[in-house]
């Protein structure tokens, strides 16, 4: 009897111990789970919200280039270039890179070949003619300052026609000024551009002997050019 009583006592104690664990276990487990769930529910949305707000602000931030309103450091913008304060020019693309622009507005599309002038067939009576036979006429006055030398590099906008009115080349239509050493072009250009000052536009009638001299594949005869001098380097 004594052994059986002791045995029953041990079993009872074991059952009581299990019940105690069962009571405490689920309680502790629920508390831990609740604690674990509450932490991300408070922090995650707040962090996610901040990230989203920053992303939206970053997406909205942009620098816009508008040639009608030149950015600081530039005076006027036209024909795909802007004049710098103090002299010099930069293409629209260069300006956008310098100011960190992400988009441009009011930039005209590529232009067609400019129409030939009415006097394309030959120089008018009021044209200036040099000893070499180069004829020219000022279309717009320049700043009256420095004139380029033969060894200078110049930046210009230009359009060229044959005397029948057919256009063959134009930086204006391309929307990008041309830069070249003045001693590396046809003789009529080398001589004529040296007559100009910055900002000047001039029309030239270049005799064949000062142009391509009948070279095969090149424009033939007298050539007519409208030239705007933008920069002397």
Question: Which residues are catalytic, by number?
Answer: 158, 168-169, 186, 212, 225
Q: Spell out a b/e string for 219-232, using b for 16 or more CB atoms within 10 Å of the CB, else e.
A: beebbbbbbbbbbb
| In contact, 207 and 188? CB cutoff 8 Å | yes
Q: What is the rounded distance in angstroms from the CA atom of residue 227 to the CA atom of residue 186?
A: 14
Tokens representing 135 are 């004829």
Structure-token pair, residue 169: 């080349």
């Amino acid at each position: 009897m004594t052994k059986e009583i002791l045995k029953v006592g041990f079993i009872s104690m074991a059952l009581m111990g299990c019940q105690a664990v069962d009571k405490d276990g689920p309680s502790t487990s629920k508390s831990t789970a609740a604690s674990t769930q509450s932490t991300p529910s408070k922090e995650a949305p707040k962090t996610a919200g901040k990230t989203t707000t920053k992303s939206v602000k970053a997406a909205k931030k942009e620098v816009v280039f508008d040639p009608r309103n030149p950015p600081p450091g530039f005076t006027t913008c036209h024909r795909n270039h802007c004049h710098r304060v103090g002299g010099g020019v930069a293409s629209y693309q260069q300006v956008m890179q310098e100011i960190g622009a992400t988009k441009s507005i009011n930039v005209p599309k590529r232009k067609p070949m400019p129409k030939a002038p009415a006097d394309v067939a030959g120089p008018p009576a009021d044209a200036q003619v040099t000893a070499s036979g180069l004829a020219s006429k000022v279309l717009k006055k320049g700043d009256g300052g420095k004139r380029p030398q033969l060894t200078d590099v110049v930046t210009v906008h230009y359009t060229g026609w044959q005397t029948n009115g057919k256009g063959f080349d134009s930086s204006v239509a391309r929307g990008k000024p041309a830069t070249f050493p003045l001693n590396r072009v046809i003789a009529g250009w080398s001589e004529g551009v040296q007559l100009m000052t910055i900002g000047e536009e001039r029309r030239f009638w270049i005799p064949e002997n000062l142009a391509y001299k009948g070279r095969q594949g090149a424009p033939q005869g007298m050539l007519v050019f409208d030239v705007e001098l933008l920069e002397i380097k």
